[in-house]
Chain A
């Protein structure tokens, strides 16, 4: 089937590092994307991994391992404004598939 799994919630404190995992059960996909969505807002693109390895963009990094059907989003130096939902997404066949989302709460 085509499904993605993410933890439903993650809590961390300001300044900390948090990793949000995403496992998928698809094949033939083109890559793994990550999106951030604040409450009441629209999803915004964070990163895209087409190849295995780590992609770094400022405080955010994303990793993909095709052989393990696994990826993660790493957020460093957490700030209160990082409190949001984070979605991984893949293109499978003719469909875009989003994960269920991980709600990140950053505490002071």
Chain B
């Protein structure tokens, strides 16, 4: 069974630009969660989508948004990029929603904002 895939793997953007990251979950998984990982803040939850609906949301500004498609693939968008948005963005898929289910993480997208 193929794992979670994320594209692109690396990205360099300029302040003020916007970016869209993509995540394809494991086949059969309907939940996709997004996380931001930085050395200073650790792993922080962004949001979770289940069956095309945002189920949970972390404490991030409205510049961070996402969506999920009918095939469970998910995209995350960050608008008006700031230097502090430089981070590793991880998505994780699970069979069900919520923390009761094991999450399978993708390799991440390394975003650098200059």
| Closest B residue, CB atoms, query A50 | B100
Binds A, one of B12-20, B40-48, B64-72, B73-81: B40-48
A72 sits at the interface (CB 8 A): no
Binds B, one of A15-23, A60-68, A74-82, A93-101: A93-101
Shortest Cβ distance from A66 into chain B, in angstroms?
A: 15
Show 21 residue pairs from A and B whose CB-CB distance is below 8 angstroms, ordered by the A residue. Answer: A31-B99, A33-B99, A42-B106, A42-B108, A43-B43, A44-B105, A45-B102, A45-B103, A48-B102, A87-B42, A87-B43, A91-B99, A94-B55, A95-B56, A96-B35, A96-B45, A96-B58, A97-B45, A98-B42, A98-B43, A98-B45
- Sample of 10 more A-B contacts, CB < 8 Å, known A30-B100, A96-B35, A98-B45: A33-B103, A35-B105, A42-B105, A44-B105, A48-B102, A50-B100, A87-B42, A89-B99, A91-B99, A95-B56
Contacts from A to B (Cβ < 8 Å): 29-31, 33, 35, 41-45, 48, 50, 87, 89-91, 94-101
B33 sits at the interface (CB 8 A): yes
Shortest Cβ distance from A47 into chain B, in angstroms?
A: 9
B104 sits at the interface (CB 8 A): yes
Q: Is the CB of A100 within 8 A of B105?
A: no
Q: How far is the CA of A44 from the CA of B105 in the complex (A)?
A: 7
A35 partner residues in chain B, CB cutoff 8 A: 103, 105
Shortest Cβ distance from A84 into chain B, in angstroms?
A: 13
Shortest Cβ distance from A86 into chain B, in angstroms?
A: 12
| Closest A residue, CB atoms, query B94 | A45
Q: How far is the CA of A101 from the CA of B42 in the complex (A)?
A: 8
- The residue among B55, B58, B102 with the most chain A CB atoms within 10 A of its own CB is B102
Q: How far is the CA of A100 from the CA of B99 in the complex (A)?
A: 18
Q: How far is the CA of A35 from the CA of B102 in the complex (A)?
A: 10
B104 partner residues in chain A, CB cutoff 8 A: 45
| Closest B residue, CB atoms, query A100 | B42
Per-residue contact bits, chain B 26-59, to A (CB 8 Å; 1 contact, 0 not): 0000000101000000111100100000011111
Choice from B42, B56, B108 contacting A96 with Cβ under 8 Å: B56
